[in-house]
Every structure is written in C-alpha cells, then in structure tokens.
Structure 1
Amino acid sequence: MASSSNQAQNFDYTVDIESSSGKILNNQNNVFIEGVCDSTATSVIEEFVDVFDDSFSRTTNLWKPKVSDPKLKPYSGQWFKDIESCFQFYTQYGLQGGFNVRKSTQKVKNKKIVTKYIIFSHGGHHETSISKLSKHSDDAMSESSHTSSAVGDQVRRRNTITKKCECSAKVILKSLGPLDSDPYVVSCFIEVHNHPLASESGKEFLRANRSMTALQRHFILDASKSNLGAYRAHGIYKSCFGLYSDVGPTAVDFQNWMRYIKLYIGKHDTDMLLQKFRDKHETSDGGFCDKYQTDSDGHITRLFWADLRGRKNYDVFGDVVSFDATYHTNKYGMVFMPFIGVDNHWKSVTFASALLDHENETNFTWACEKFLKVFCRPPKCIITDQCLAESHMQ
C-alpha cells in the first residue's frame, strides 16, 4: 500500500511491503530513503520520478526537455547562417529545457569547418591514461608490448571533479558548401537525455543564465571605486532589480569577475596608483601631497602621501603622533606605516601614510623627513613601538 501527502513542497511516501516499510523524504532537490531494502527503494524512486518529474519516461528511462515555445526546439534539416547562431539557438533551448550546452569536436576540410558537434555540457567521457598516451609520438608508442599491457592495467580516470555522464543529447551541423559564407544544416538532433534536468527553480543557476552583462561589469567597477566588495555589490544590485533570478550571475560570479580584473591589472597596479595620485593633485587644489622613490628597475621602494583632511586634522590634533611599522602588504611584502593621532572624542585620525620596501632606519628617516616637509612643524610627542630601527632615528 502506498500513500502520499504534499505539504509546503515536502513529499512524504510510505511503502509497506510484507514486514518492511520505506519512506522517501524530498526537500527540494535532496532525496532520502529510510528503512527499505534495495528493491523497495528502487520501486519507490520510480514512483516518485513518475509523479513529480514529467520529463521522465519509464518506457525509455530517459528525460525529454519541456519547452514552452515549440519554435525554440531544433529539428533535422534546420538551416543556420553560421555555427555561432546555431550555438546560441541551442543554448536558448537548453535554458528552457534545463541543461547547459557546449561546443565539441569538429571536422575541417580546406580550412573550412564542415562538421560541428554541439552537445550537453557533461556529455562525453573522461580522458584516461591510455588516451593521453595516444597523443604522444609514434616512437613513444612503439615500445615493447609488455610495457603497453602494464600501462593498460593501470587505466585510471583524470583527477577532476567534473562529472561526465556520456549523455547523447546533441546537435550535429553540416556545411552546405566549401565557402565561408555557405550556411549550415542540422543533420542530426538527439533530444533525450540520460540524466535528470534542472527544475524550474534551478534553471536560474545554469551557466548561460549567469553570464554577466556590460551593465553589471560597470556596476562592479563603480562599486569598487566606493570600496564596496563583490558580495556587497551583488546585494545592492539585487535590491535594485528585485529577485536573484532577475540578476542572473551569483555573488561568486561577481567575485570571480573582480578577480579577472585584478589579474588583468597585473604589473600596472603601480601606474594606476600614481595616476590616481595625480588626479587627486588636480582636484584638491594643492591639498594632496605625495612623494616616492624608485630603484634602478623602476620599482617603487618608498611612497608617502597625505590628503587635505589629514593635514587639517594635524593642525588641530597633531600634538601627539603615533606610527606603527608592523603592517605588511600581502602581495609585495612592503611595510605600511600610518601616522595616527587622537581627536577630542578619543577617536583615531590618520594624518599621513607611507609604504616602504624594508623595515630599516634609512626608510623610517626618509618617511619622517617627508612628513615634516609636508606638515611644516614637528609634533610635541611621538609614540612608536619597540622597533630598533625606529629608536635609532635622530
């Protein structure tokens, strides 16, 4: 006897077969089976799939994508002007059906792609050690037979977390002519999949739905200029546009794109910093000051800067100055040296800052000289830590 109840999207199945009883508890995409033998579990799962997954067919044990618009479904004999237009068309079909797609193998003749495969993103099979060896030269492959058999006994999968399920769903394109302008036709279209498809709530997390627009890229850059990280930028963007499904990319996608920007900046980060300082010079009417030195290779070894607010704070609260050279930057290992004071509310205020390549007496003396040159008067009291290089300064 089987009974079912549906409350708040939690499905509870109880199966009594002789003396054994089984229960399936489904909470969104997680399925748990309790107290059943293997045969009972299999039958209960099949009944569960039949009722709640309308894309599954028990006769073929395959999944067929459901699309709201039949015009989005490819068919054999369909024409496309190029491969990219077909790929975009099949991608939209995958978004409706609940799966990702990717470009696969191709055949080239006279520098013209005559055959192109577009398949499910996890289609195909894992590359093994044998397939890797097949890519080597003929000399490496012509060793003794006992060596080949020994390698064959050690066939293993690649060390990867990518799961390939050998799904056959695909579109095969054939060129209709030798010219680059000749169109392509769908010679084969396999619709069914051997794996479950994404649910309606899970389609928003498909890779194609998470592609980032130019507006979102500019938004992340503008947010970073206001010292807002990628996660906070994603939250603000979601608040502006409504639901997470309306945003598309996730917070991790925002963070990954910000990482790509930092990699693109690479060795030009110092040039960008100096350009930013030059811009502050022009907009602050002389209130911003910076000094720096470079080595023979053009690398910055010393950098000092102070803005207008810091100089005004020093005029009022500059009787006592404290500087601590125990901070180090992550990437270049430079010493960060802030000049700090205390206001009338016992809150810390920053007068100036410096970056030094080494923690030694010469660098500390240089930073203090630039400090006196910018602020024109020495403080009445200086508080430092127990660093020997600082204690030896005159």
Structure 2
Amino acid sequence: MGDELDQGTPPKENMGVTMIVAEDGNTRELDSISKGKDVVEPPSAGMMFKSIEELYEFYKTYGNQEGFPVFKKSTKNDKQGRLHFVTLSCGRGGKSRCKRDKLVNPSLTMKIECNAKLNARVYDDGVVRVTSVFLDHNHELSPTRARYLPRRRTVNTSIKRRREKNDQAGVTVDKALASSIVEYGGQENETSLEKVCQSFINNIDKTRKLFLGVGDAGAVCNYFNRMQEHNSNFYYSIDFNEEGHIRNIFWADERSRAAYKSFNDVLTFDTTHLINKYGMPFVSFVGANHHGQPILFGCGLVSGEDTETYIWLFMQLLACMCGNAPKAIITDQDIAMQKAIEIVFPEIQQRWCLWHIMKKIPGKLSWHSSYELMKTNLMHAVYDSMSKEEFDFNWSQMIQKYSLESNTWLSILYENRHRWVPVYIKDSFWAGMSTTQRNDNIHAFFEGYVNSKTTVKQFVERYDKALKIKVEKELQEDLNSFNYCCPCVSHYNIEKQFQQAYTNSKFKETQEEFKGKMFCYVHSMKEEEEFGVYEVIEDMVVENGLSAQKVCFTVYFKQAEFDVRCSCRLFEFQGILCRHIITLLTVKGVYSVPLKYILPRWRKDFRREHTKVKVSYNNWNTTPEMKRYDLISKKSVVFADFGCTSDENTQIALDFIEQFRQKFNIVDPLGGSDQNIYAVSGNSQPF
C-alpha cells in the first residue's frame, strides 16, 4: 500500500483540492482538479478530499468521463473500529465467479481482473488523502457509452426528488427528460437512463397511500369516534384511493374551528414534521392568536407532496371552515403547493417563508470561490434594502459582481421576489410573523411531540397533551393581561391608550416603538392640499453595531380624517404603530389615536368564541361559561334538525335566529365580525 502507513496529519496546503456536489446533482471541481466545466484530471497521490463521499463522487465522475464503472472494492478499520483505509476500483476488476448450477448457462459478467484502482487513507477528522493510484486498464475504455454503465441504471436521490416535483407540478415525463438532457449538455451526459426514469415515474402513483403500522388505523378511528362523541362539531375527512387504501386524512376540533373565525387573516402551512418511519408527512395549519402565540386550525396526515394532495387538503380546510378562506398564507418554496393554492385560494396573498429560503444558501452557493463575501452581499440586499428599487439595485450589483447571471436558483428567487423579500411583502398584513428568522413557535406547533420515530398511533395519543399545553399557555396569558400591566415608559397618553387595550405581549411590542422614538426626529415637512408629507430621520445602528447611519422615512398625515401612514409600513405589516408615526404625532400634539389604529385582533378585552369551547384536552379547566356554552350549543341543534327538512323550514329557522340577533345586537358570525376588520391597506400609495 506504500505510504498508506503514514500516521501524520494531512498537509494543510493541499486542502484546497476538493470537490463540491451541489443539490442539483451537478459535480463541480474546484482549484487544481478542474480543467473545464465537466472535465476532471486523473486522480493522483496526495489529493485531499473532505470526506469519502467526495472522493467516491470524484472517482465516479472521472470513471464516467473516461468510460469505466467504479466500485468500492474494500475498506479497512483501525483498532478502534474507525474506517482507516478505502480502495476504489474499476468495476471490471476481480475474477468472475460462476455458481455450479449455472455452469451450463452462465450469466454475463464484467469481471476481467482489471487492476485500475486508487487507495486512500481516512484521518480521524474524516479528511481523506489519496495514497496511491493505478490508472492502467486491461480493457478498452468507451466514454461515449458511459451512460449505459451499471451506476447509471439507478436514479439517485436528487434526481428522484426532481422527477417527483416535476410530476407533482404536472410536467410530463417527456418534457422532464428533455429538460434534463438539455441541462446536462446532451443525452450522453444525462445521469439516469430514460427507461429507468420512466419506470420510476410510473411507480409514483402506485405508492400514494398511507403506510400505517400495526394499530395505527384503529388508533386514528378510535380517536375520531371519541372526539365526535364528545362534540359533534369535531370535523374529519378521510381520502381513499381506488383500491380502498387510506391516502390522506384531515381533522380539526371545535376549538380550532372557532379560533379560525377570529384569526384566519394569516396562517402558516407547515410540512416540516415528517413521520419518517412510514414515509408519511404530517402537516398543520397554524395561525397566531391575540398574544402572538401559535394556535392550531387543523392538521392532517398525507401520502404525498403533490398538487393533487394539497388541493384535497385545502378543500377540506375550506369545507371545515364553512367556505371561509384565509386572507393570507405562508408556505415553503414548493411548486406543487403554490399551484394548489392558486387553484383553491385564488384571491389570497401567498408568502414564502424567508427562513426556509435563507437556510438553503450554503447548499446552493457554497461552491463559489467567494462564497462568504457573496453571502454577505446577498444578506445585505435582502435584509437592509429600504425600498423595492434599492433591493433591485443591490441584487443586480451582487449578481454582476460574482458572475451569477446563469444561476437558476437565484434567477427563480428574483422572479418571485414579491413572495419573500421583506420590502416587497411589507405592504400586506402578516400578523407580526417575522420575515427575518424562523418563528419556532409558529412553525413547530408540535415540537417535542413528533419526531422521526413517531408512529401514527403514538401521535394521536400525544395530540391531546400537546393541545392542552398550548391552551394552558393562552389562558395564562389571558389571565396575566387582565390582572397585570406593563408600566408606561413615557408620559404620552397614546402609550397609555395601547396599554389599556392590548394584551401584554402586543403592548410590549408597541412600547418598543415608543422607546425607539428617542432615536427619531422630524427633519422637514411639506404641506400638500389635503395632507402633509414629513421626513422623519432615525439614527440606526448598522454593520453589527459598529457604525450608525441616518435613515429617512416619509410619513403622510391627513389630519382632517386622521389618516397616517409611514414608508416603513410597520403598521400595514404587523398592526403596530411605528416610531416614526409616533414621533410625528407627538410633535403635532396628538392626544389619542382613533380606534382604527388599535386593532381588535390584539385587544385583551374581546371575549373570543374559541375560549368558550369545551374540548377533551381542557376539561381540567372547564369554566361555568364553557359549560353554559356547551349546553346551549347542544340545545341549538334543534334549529338545524328542523331547518334542514325543507327550504321553507330553513327560512323559518334563519328568520327566528335573525330576530334574536337583532334584538340583542349580536354580530352575525357568517356576515363578518369586527374582529376581522383591520385599518390596514395593501396600497403602497400615500392616500
């Protein structure tokens, strides 16, 4: 083995010789390995790799280039059982062995004792160094036939994922293969044989069913039966395939359905929790309550992540919520999901989760030689741009500086910038759900209750416990907001106005803007015919606190109607008055703000319907109000039983309910509620 016995540490000067395998399946060679885009130099002793996987990928790429298959021939562990040496060889090495029962009709074999191989040593930190190489083959090499080598007859994970996504988005197999062939520079470079890919695609539909373990189906049915016995307003739906197998499940309890009426302005659709034991994704619809806490609207178990499945799931949410669609939805960057939303919810705002996008940067761009500097420029464009024009300029400068014009991922992101870039989405209301980082409270509603080993049976057993803890936290915050208050930090009556109206958590957010007022001042003002235009300067800390910069914000104020808006759009995005507006109002001597700037959504004095609902997981804290609500709800079924028998009886029941509603001045829950009226506009114009 030659210098395999060297026990020293790998020489640091060679660490630049490495290979990056991008998520799109392409292999990119860096530094001295690369001669051209798709050409790699022959392996040589001394080459360094970050891992065995990188070495293996490099040798496979070289073998594909030269026209021979590659196999892992042998490995050797040290005394502690750690991998110490590895040998990669030509796939035609070794002797052919024919079983005795096949001597008359032997199988085809590639083995002809070819000695081409490379040996490598693995160090304790995982770094691999090539120790010796044998390049000579005893057979003819054929690069043009490389696509027919055995390793090409499998569909790797990245290719499978892309094929699945194409299928989910409705892209035909022919188009997908044609696109792939163009991408790889010709059919001879395409990484998977057409017949193999076609077979893989044809099998996708056959696997679209829930893979339930022993006791799972019974556990789900028992749970649903128990919940419906407890409350007839528990909603569930089961989707079966043509063979009668369960494909998808959706459910929502009465409390979730009631909460949706108050907080359906924004919801997140989370598919990040996968029950991996059965390859089955768990999905949830989660919103934010009046404290900013996560609140569940519904959840499901689905057999796939395709457009058809998402359409079924969204339709069930719509049916469960009496046809009342959400106003906005936050999702990850998924083509199938986006297509389903456009079909089922064509009118709503859709936003991509910025956290999901930014966490992909290393996998998508770390191959670049100036990765760290490029990442800094990208983050600056996304987070620090104060206007759409500034973002477009910063993005364009970054693309040109680092020659990224041909990067498909970045091109798609820019084309869809209105779905994720903060300055493009701040004109719409998102209930304070952050654009700059992952909100673990919102996205991970069942954190600690679902993991890679959780079975369906275990999950339904833990479901009630998870919801009970969330309900307890909400009730505790309700109690705190009624019994305690945060002292004001200023003497302005406007702050006291919010203190008396908002829950403690939302008042603290408002209070931060009053604190930030000390860094703001009105620089200039210009009176128009009906409104004034004011420049408010804020001293902002930038570059990780190393320097300060003065940033100008424009505030528009129509004093006659008391309409005020700021270019920062904090109120439009979060429902909280910004420090720039507060600065102007104090200069103007405004004593209080109209109620349209105190959103009912954040108020602590509203008794919301979901807090009165009695469900199985909060029986321990059932209040007299909940008991009365439950009793009246059950008695009210008589109206539905009578009314559903005919159109005439339906009208009689509705008229009776309408008279009762008008007599006691009760808001019609199906005709709109004050809780869903917001003085927030998506219009970017001043007035």
TM-score class, shorter-chain normalisation, is 0.3 to 0.5
Q: TM-score, normalised by structure 1?
A: 0.38
Q: TM-score, normalised by structure 2?
A: 0.24
- The structure with the largest helix share of the pair is 2
